[in-house]
Amino acid sequence: MIRIVVAWVLVSIITINGFDGYYNYGISQCRFSSQDLSDLEYIHSYVFNKVELIRFNSTVGKFVGYTELGVQNAERWNNMTDQLEKYRARKDTKCRPNAAILYKDILTKTAKPMVKLRLGTPSIGDSPAMLMCSAYDFYPKMIKLAWYRDEQEVTGDVISSEELADGDWFYQIHSHLEFTPKAGEKISCEVHHTSLKEPQVVDWGSSMPEPERNKIAIGAAGLVLGLIIAAAGFIYYKKKSGGRILVPSS
């Protein structure tokens, strides 16, 4: 699968000169993190032998030196009014148009979720089984996972996570359904997302491996057997206690 790499920095190297194994280059960056580009800034750096000598930052509005030579050049270039104004203008002439294009290209793209339905470990309680429906690698963020039993939506015994960012523009989400299996019933996880023309439905049974279905069946049988044993024990106790007269002790 091709992944989109988060690119908050637009970079273009404008000059590279090499001699005797050393390289001198200038690099331009457009940095931003908001869609409205309110925090947009233009940065241009001059580097020699991996050491940054001097930098222009549109937020600062002037050149700043980081070495002795860089400080000397920064002072000289800041006094060159025409050149300084050209650098100040690059945030709007270079960065803003390209950043807007980047956002448009990304925000109009969608990625379909990869949906998995599998058996999970139930929490402490009366439910012998738990299903987990997971959606991976989807974009944009907004998504809905819904559970259905025999075509009826289930809202109780459902726990869902928030959309979790993977750090690469993609998201994942997980939803859990605790339940007691019934013979012949149909359980489905339904996924709604803007990348899908219609909801994606994954049915329990057809998508679940045979061993996992057997585990649920065994769990359900164990629960029923436990209830039968408990009921038999209670009946036995009532019969035994009914034949005795309890006398309070002094």
Contact 89, 83 (CB under 8 A): no
Q: Is the pTM of this model over 0.75?
A: no
- The boundaries of the domain holding residue 151 are 114-234
In this structure, are 222 and 124 located in the same domain? yes
14 domain-assigned: yes
Say whether pLDDT at 130 is over 60.
Answer: yes
Cα(218)–Cα(214) distance, rounded to whole angstroms?
6
190 domain-assigned: yes
Residue 120, classed as helix, strand or coil, is strand
Counted domains in the chain: 2
Per-residue pLDDT of 28-78, as tens digits, reads 888 887 778 888 999 999 998 889 999 999 999 999 999 999 999 999 999
Other C-beta atoms lying within 10 Å of the C-beta of residue 63: 23
Question: What pLDDT does 2 receive?
Answer: 37
In this structure, are 95 and 135 located in the same domain? no
Other C-beta atoms lying within 10 Å of the C-beta of residue 239: 9
pLDDT band with cut points at 50, 70 and 90 for residue 85? very high
Q: In what order do the strands lie in the sheet with 187-192?
A: 152-154, 144-149, 187-192, 200-203
In this structure, are 147 and 73 located in the same domain? no
In this structure, are 16 and 91 located in the same domain? yes
In this structure, are 170 and 132 located in the same domain? yes
HEC states along 34-70? CCCCCCCEEEEEEEECCEEEEEEECCCCEEEECCHHH
In this structure, are 86 and 176 located in the same domain? no
In this structure, are 96 and 173 located in the same domain? no
Closest CA to 88 of 63, 65, 61, 64: 61
Q: How far is CA 108 from the centre of its chain?
A: 18
Closest CA to 26 of 43, 9, 40, 10: 43
